[in-house]
Structure 1
Amino acid sequence: MAGVSSDTGAWIRRFHPAPDAVTRLVCFPHAGGSASYFFPVSRALSPGIDVLAVQYPGRQDRRGEPCIDDIDRLADALLPELLRWADRPLTLFGHSMGASLGFEVARKLEARGSTVLGLFASGRRAPSRFRDERVHLRTDDQLLADITRLSGTDAAVLGDPEMVRMILPAVRSDYKAAESYRFRGGPKLAAPVIALTGDADPQVTRDEAEAWREHTDGSFELKVFPGGHFYLNSQSARVLEAIRGHVEQAAPVRTPDERGAVA
């Protein structure tokens, strides 16, 4: 894939390497999503922030690998890969299923002494707020109808039977991971949490987004945008502004000598 550094491995995509940035942003895709969803984010934030996008198994160039349909197992598999990039402070951004995964990864990173500047939890209710959803058990047509309802996949893709056959296994696996996830308690994050939600998102109420406050000992902020579950597609400029603002405020300040020392 053009523009990807050769040292990223299977799990990480680094579309616009920013070797002089003092911080990194790690992006976790939604159910059925892939690292390429965050290509525009990487382009917009580089070179000020080194953006890493997670590539789950079972899609795109990892299509031949078995999917992982469990959030805890995904977090365990991903952690060693991210620890390689934790030489600089990390900010995590996860949308929908990616927010749940980002939360569990953030807890594991903090437990190992890595610096997490913040977690952006987008389009997902707090871990302690449960809904008994079983979309992953529905027929292919019903699953596709749910994807269409949430407007998370390009309509041209859904109209291509061959493409649908390619993406459905990953979508179903991710839905199962998201819907079977259960918060098991444990320590709160030390890092701040910024919850982002659309005001017309059928998947998340304002109260469910507000409940992310319960999962951090750091600061908490709720940002509500116009739109549905994929509000960030139309509100990307404001989301990017929020990320930049948080990172600029939270990131360590380098001296002139340190600027030249970053590799």
Structure 2
Amino acid sequence: MLFSKPPDPDKLNILCFPYAGGNADYYNRWSTQLDESICLHPVHLPGRGKYIQRPLISSMELLITLLIDELDTFRDCRVGFLGTSMGGWIAFQLAQQLNTSCHPVQPECLIICSAAHPDYRSHLPDLSGLDTQHAVNRLGTFNPACLNVLSNPELAEIYLPILQADLLLCRHWQFQAQPVLNCPLWAYHGTSDLIVQHDMMPAWASLTSASFKLDTVEGIIFLQKGPRTDFSNSCTSVSPHYSKR
């Protein structure tokens, strides 16, 4: 199972997708700062964290198929999706696929954190055919913060394959702007984010027929021990807007 706990039928269950190279465990520290009407479910992707021994997935299509197979446990429950960086793209593609197939599980909201509109995925570094040192150098140019981990050979041995698979998944994703989603889409940009610029996010508005808003929060969202008060309040405000099905 990619979900570590069962859904709560009396709450809005928000499925949380991680950024490239990471796992979703950091969402656990947010739970105590959100309203009791919300239950967070970190999505544990194969090849990292508790599933480090499982094969990595470098295909968006394959990952979405796996996620849909796992969603049966959320039937008859209210759900929302939250994704950070790459996780935002995964969350969008999953929501779009569920909408298109009229799946019984439908998200009531999509929350995007520090994720550029999918058209910007072409800006991601191409690591194809590079040896370890050249791949690390290219990643360091794209995101110098990566070097905090990748400059350590032992850590690079663990995390570089994860980053390579995730970047391949994102770069080869066959994004389609249609059909648009029918749920509200709320986007958040961190003021200290050096990779995703604010002007890369407004175009998310074109991907839903429902309401859209773009807010700015201080810092880098996924590096914080917990969401800031303004971010927490925005997430909490999702739940009362929708009645239980």
Q: 1:73 aligns with which of 46, 59, 62?
A: 62
Aligned to 1:162: 154
Matched, 1:187 2:158: no
2:15 counterpart letter in structure 1: V
Q: Give the SS at the match of 2:205.
A: helix
Q: CA deviation at 1:160?
A: 4.5
Q: Is the contact made by 2:13 and 2:77 (CA closer than 8 Å) also made in structure 1?
A: yes
Moved more, 167-176 or 193-202: 193-202
Q: Distance in 1 between matches of 2:164 and 2:178?
A: 28
CA gap 1:85/1:206 in 2 versus in 1, 3 angstroms: same
Q: Distance in 2 between matches of 1:202 and 1:244?
A: 27
Deviations 1:181-208, CA, capped at 9 Å, x for gaps = 2322331100000011123434333332
Q: 1:145 aligns with which of 137, 140, 144?
A: 140
Q: CA deviation at 1:169?
A: 0.9
CA RMSD of aligned residues (A): 2.6
Q: Which runs of 5+ in 2 are unaligned?
A: none
Q: CA deviation at 1:93?
A: 0.4
Q: CA deviation at 1:95?
A: 0.5
Output the TM-score relative to the length of structure 2.
0.84
Q: CA deviation at 1:244?
A: 0.6
Q: Give the SS at the match of 1:83.
A: helix
Q: Is the contact made by 1:88 and 1:115 (CA closer than 8 Å) also made in structure 2?
A: no
Aligned pairs, number: 237
Q: Is the contact made by 1:69 and 1:177 (CA closer than 8 Å) also made in structure 2?
A: yes
Whose relative contact order is higher, 1 or 2, with alpha carbons under 8 Å and at least 6 apart?
A: 2
Q: Is the contact made by 1:45 and 1:51 (CA closer than 8 Å) also made in structure 2?
A: no
Moved more, 161-170 or 234-243: 234-243
Q: 1:245 aligns with which of 231, 237, 241?
A: 237
Aligned to 1:52: 41
State the percentage of identical aligned residues.
24
Output the TM-score relative to the length of structure 1.
0.79
Q: Is the contact made by 2:177 and 2:207 (CA closer than 8 Å) also made in structure 1?
A: no
Aligned to 1:126: 117
1:207 counterpart letter in structure 2: D
Q: Which runs of 5+ in 1 are unaligned?
A: 1-8, 255-263
